[in-house]
Amino acid sequence: MRNPEWMALEDEAGARLDKFLAAPDRLNSRANAVRALERGKVYLNGEEAGLRDAARRLAAGDVVRLWADRPGSRSARPRTGRSRDLDVVYEDDALLVVNKPPGILSVPLERKPDVLSVYEQIETRLRSHGKRRPFIVHRIDQHTSGLIVFAKDAEAQRRIRLQFARRKPERVYLAVVYGQPSPPEGRWHDRLVWDEKALIQKAAHPRDPGGTDAVLTYRTLEAFPGSSLLELHLRTGRRNQIRIQARLRGHTLVGEQRYGHGPEDLPPIAFGRQALHAYRLAFEHPSDRRALRFEAPLPRDFVDLLARLRKRR
């Protein structure tokens, strides 16, 4: 197979990723495994695994895929978003903060080989200056716009990720949802579980051992006929968290596709993506611990949406 896929068996649980790849019936040597990881050709459970993940321990059932002909590793392939410039909000020797436009991935996904990612744009930028690949800190959804941070070395990545794990960064989003939440400000707390097959979050039983807590606080900034503009502060950082938590309360995001559509008793609002924008990001610098705080202006489509909703009043 050109792009082979392997599943870790019970007796391979606990094996390092690079050693798993180096097996004779896979890449046949540690050097080949390291080279594939370094070039971004390895995916673990659908997510890119780089050289930093070489020592990661596999669990039974983990799926490892080799993307031998990944775009950029051989010949270039046309991809959406290529004409868009990288909107750098902040950059120094340790990190880089980008305002991601909607429609572009945060990091490459094997299931979406024709879609450009911010990771690849940054990689091109760094390599033009003789530097290595960027290091992923966190990500936002393809059709969500706004702030995302990447590190330039493994230690900076580790320190920023540790802040995220301890829930220290301030992460504020703006969203347009159907209806008006009651009360107009408050706290949402759910137990969620990720469905690997459907690639969506689902509500879990409070005692489900596979579930994780999802917490955010919200505040209504503007109310429109049949919709509202919300400010949301993430207290946890679960995948698709805002989208599923809003849906669970009957306040589906305008433009949402994966987690259902708007309520049947409200007129539909046309918008080409989920109306979600990562507006503010604040954390400590990984080197000197000084406070960093960034805000990203709303993209044009979001501004136009708000203008249409205001006219309804």
Q: 85 burial class (0-12, 13-18, 19+ CB within 10 angstroms)?
A: exposed
Residue 57 in domain: yes
Could you tell me what percent of the chain has a pLDDT over 90? 65
Q: Beta-strand (E) ranges in 121-271?
A: 135-136, 145-151, 170-178, 185-195, 200-203, 212-224, 227-234
Residue 209 in domain: yes
Domain boundary among 49, 66, 83: 66
pLDDT at 227: 97
Q: What is the pLDDT of residues 144-176, one digit of tens each?
A: 999 999 999 999 999 999 999 999 999 999 999
Residue 239 in domain: yes
Which of 141, 213, 265, 288 is catalytic? The answer is: 141
Q: Return the minimum-mean-pLDDT range out of 208-212, 239-243, 270-274, 302-306.
A: 208-212
The answer to whether residues 60 and 188 belong to one domain is: no
Q: How many domains does the chain have?
A: 2
Mean of per-residue pLDDT scores for the chain: 89
The answer to whether residues 183 and 306 belong to one domain is: yes
CATH at 37: 3.10.290.10
> Is pLDDT at 31 greater than 90 in this prediction?
no
The answer to whether residues 178 and 47 belong to one domain is: no
Is 87 catalytic? The answer is no
Residue 232 in domain: yes
Q: What is the pLDDT of residues 71-111, one digit of tens each?
A: 544 433 333 333 347 899 999 999 999 999 999 999 988 88
> Is pLDDT at 38 greater than 80 in this prediction?
no
Residue 121 in domain: no
Residue 109 in domain: no
pLDDT at 297: 96
The answer to whether residues 58 and 181 belong to one domain is: no
Residue 84 in domain: no
pLDDT at 71: 52
The answer to whether residues 62 and 175 belong to one domain is: no
Residue 90 in domain: no
Look up the domain containing 266 and give its range. Answer: 171-278+302-312
The Cα–Cα gap between 105 and 139 comes to: 9
DSSP state of 115: B
Domain boundary among 66, 91, 112: 66
